Amino acid sequence: MLMIIPMASTLRPSLTTFSLSSSSTRLGLSLSSSIPPRRFSFLHLDTDIPQLQCFGLKASTLLRGEGNGMPVVTAGNIAQASTSPAQEDALEWVKKDNRRMLHVVYRVGDLDRTIKFYTECLGMKLLRKRDIPEERYSNAFLGYGPEDSHFVIELTYNYGIDKYDIGTGFGHFGIAVEDVAKTVELIKAKGGKVTREPGPVKGGSTVIAFIEDPDGYKFELLERGSTPEPLCQVMLRVGDLDRSIAFYDKAFGMELLRKRDNPEYKYTIAMMGYGPEDKNAVMELTYNYGVTEYDKGNGYAQIAIGTDDVYKTAEVVKLCGGKVTREPGPLPGINTKITACLDPDGWKTVFVDNVDFLKELE
């Protein structure tokens, strides 16, 4: 639905001080600093902020003097900051907005190879595929049900690029299966890589396993009964969990479904989403004790979320300390209205107009 095209970016070196396995910590990474800088992005990003009038607030009143697009109110102190009636209306509107996680976007080095792995080993369906030769990229959408009702994966292949740096910030995707052991055996038979054998999660009873796809993206297999949303988690690491919870609650309208501290293994997780975990895809935010910053690499791109109003969404994001990197409005050529933003850790999210999204699928 949304494309990834080149932009200039500089990759920071990987955090070589963290080279722990997934069986002993939520970091679970093999880190590398050998990937050279490349030029990729989701969109050409606009940084000029118009004088929007959503909720009766001018965007100019939200910006600092430097003109860098960052609001005066930060995600860390929004709970303590005084709010005007207009701001309260804005935050209340977010909770009533019709939102759903639509898809997660990331880059792969061989599209057909990844499609084969996901369909044969993970039981996904190829929903659609498109090639955009003039922009030198191809897309494939995969999942466990139609895009108008399920959370799906959008894979992007950029011509001539066969490897990406996943970085230290991205964690894993979660897939709910009825029998983890059987799924692992199938993956092994197909030549897949198992990095954590089936067994109870540390400190709990849920049977899990970890695997890697051909590009090195990790998937956590969780043993559950039948669920309408098997593609159930996206795990990202954050530097301040309470700050992130406040931001996703107020700016994105997500609910804190549960929070669990694991002092023995020195990490804390928070599940955020738009409905219960057994029926909806959720975000798993992980804080590793003492780690405040991560290298995001150039593989993982963003999550897309549906909204009834991208203009109001952008204004609330600014109120809550997020940075709008693509001002709300229609995409050239297809007229789908979107807005793009960054959370306090720099993770990107794209909000898509619900009506326009359904028209695109038609």
* Binding residue numbers: 154, 172, 220
Which residues does the annotation place in the binding site for Zn(2+)? 154, 172, 220
List, as one string, the DSSP characters of 1-47. ----------PPPP-TT----TTT-S--------PPP----SSPPP-
Q: List all residues 6 or more positions away from 215 whose beta carbon is below 8 Å from its beta carbon.
A: 108, 109, 114, 163, 164, 166, 299
The continuous run of DSSP H or E covering 236 comes out as strand 231-237
Helix (H, G, I), strand (E, B), or coil: what is residue 350? strand
Residues with catalytic annotation? 220
Range 200-204 contact pairs with CB under 8 angstroms and sequence separation of 24 or more? 202/262, 202/264, 202/265, 203/262, 203/264, 203/265
Give Cα separations from 323 to 134, 149, 253, 305 (angstroms): 30, 29, 16, 16
Report the distance separating Cα 309 and Cα 306, nearest Å: 9
Report the distance separating Cα 185 and Cα 201, nearest Å: 19
Give Cα separations from 127 to 28, 231, 338 (angstroms): 31, 14, 22
